[in-house]
Structure 1
Amino acid sequence: MRPVSRWFGVLVLGVCQGSGAQETVKSGKDAPATARVAAPAASQADDAKAIATLIASFTKAFNAGDAVAAAATYSEEALVVDEQGKRTEGRAAVRDQLAASFADNPGSTIAIKVDALRFLGPDTALEEGQTTITPDGARGVPEVTHFTVVYVKRDGHWLQSAVRDEIRHDLTPHDRLKELEWLVGDWINESQDAVVHTACKWADNGNFLIREFTMKTHGQPILSGTQRIGWDPVRGQFKTWIFDTEGGFGEGYWTRNGDEWVIKAEGVQQDGRHASVTNILKRLGKDRASWQSVDRTLGGIAVPGIDEFTLVRKPPEAGK
């Protein structure tokens, strides 16, 4: 979602000069999409089949990482709006956005479930459904969104004209947090200066993740604290609350960019000074992640960032 958009070609509904809006529907690899057509007339049966074929072509191109072929399913003046409200206008811009998404997220696949297809006229159709994007390998959990798409018929061919992608609101906070479930466990970073230990677990109700951290220097604890991560349904983002043992506290929001999570946080130190930071957390594999802090300020003054370091998951203790 750029802001760190999971754009992946999921188009957002927009009004395209009265032609309506359309969304990129996803289907399993090369699997044809099917739609429940609202009382189609006999003359519309062929059009419904042609739209299903278009969806299958987009899916095949998407799963192959072929931005040119995927963009060919859009009209020249296509409008795409993602779940963050970012607008992409024109086939060429759609192609470039798809190419960037494929480069940032290689191997990701798309699946499309069409819920309904309704014809608004002989050359216009409206479709709704659900899209699922699955990252390659162990890079994360599938992302599910609701889409609305408007198709237009040009020179006998159906094309995507406008697409809207929206966050599903029927998912529970626990469902949302499964995207960060890989954080659960014990993690450690050791350097010449300090040792940082982080333990992450589910809250009892399963609607939050709780991270406890401790920093030691020369074997002595110098700082510890608690972080709680939950889902903000208003902003459609993960939100975090942080409290440390010195009396400081803060909050921030998470935004995903491929394998990276960008966490912009603000808070107050125990002495009343305002602090802000942008943290970048990147998953490097099942048991490794990197962390970096940039754009740090304290009391309105810029302070040095923290160079990227690696966190490693601790193996289970013997006998456990």
Structure 2
Amino acid sequence: MDVTERWYRAFAEHTAPTSPLYEALSLLVAGDAELIARLSVLPEPKRQPNLLFGATRYLDGPVESTSDWREWVLSRWDEVVAVILAHRTQTNETNRCAALLPVLSQVDGPIALLEVGASAGLNLYPDRYRYRYGTHELGDGPVLLECEPRGDVPLPKRLPEIVWRAGLDLNPLDIRDEEVLRWLTALVWPEHHERRTRLHAAADIVRADPPRLVQGDMLTDLRALAAQAPAGATLVVQHSAALAYVVDAEARKGFAATVTSLPGHWIALESPGVVPGTEVEADVNTEVVSMDGRIMGFSDSHGRWIGWP
């Protein structure tokens, strides 16, 4: 089986069940020799389903019908490829803050928060959002993040005191740019209306007080940015669905060695095994919440629920 075909079949089976439209499109692509052939000439990172489908939505293409989508994407292939080559899948899913907060709230402040793979920096503002875990609520921000607690989750009693925030990304995005917001909106799956609403509300918060975003590689530039955190604040390096894009396992180990050598803490939400030391059997679409390389809990990839071992 072609590697691109396998990628789309895996996406349909493991990632897209919460989006029946994308599940159907993924299976269509996997079984379509012409589409696979066209995708296969692109650089491998540019073949991924989220990028192809995001480009479709960015160009206002149809996703409700597989036959209409196929006809449209083939007729507009050059435009679709131009969008794919010019963009990355930099989804800023703010609800992931709700999955990270039970760990982050255990860190004594003040906190210097540094996010790698920050995209537009929306997840650098966990102190500005409002949270609901079942019947437990905290915060009074204008954006509500809801997360279902499963099991004996240590529900946060306070929001973090963040006095410095910075992001590191290969391609940092300025959310004040309407085209940036348009692209991030296109990356939200079509049935996920609440995620689109939340994205735009969070963008308003960040636009009013933009974070410092630095262009750089998490593998080589983290230490220099971390050194700029203010004295007297506890450094927290966080990331969610970012380290997974470093496909080389040795490179991930190198990142882990760097981040654990820094003062402070390291908090992550990644697929099992992406953070070295978090290899564990888990259900499909279940991510590991870890702190300093130690498994703390589990969540889905969009922070809809959180469970504790």
One fold, TM greater than 0.5? no
User: Whose strand proportion is higher, 1 or 2?
Assistant: 1
Q: Give the alignment's TM-score, normalised by structure 2.
A: 0.29
Q: Give the alignment's TM-score, normalised by structure 1.
A: 0.29
**Larger relative contact order (Cα-Cα within 8 Å, sequence gap ≥ 6):** 2
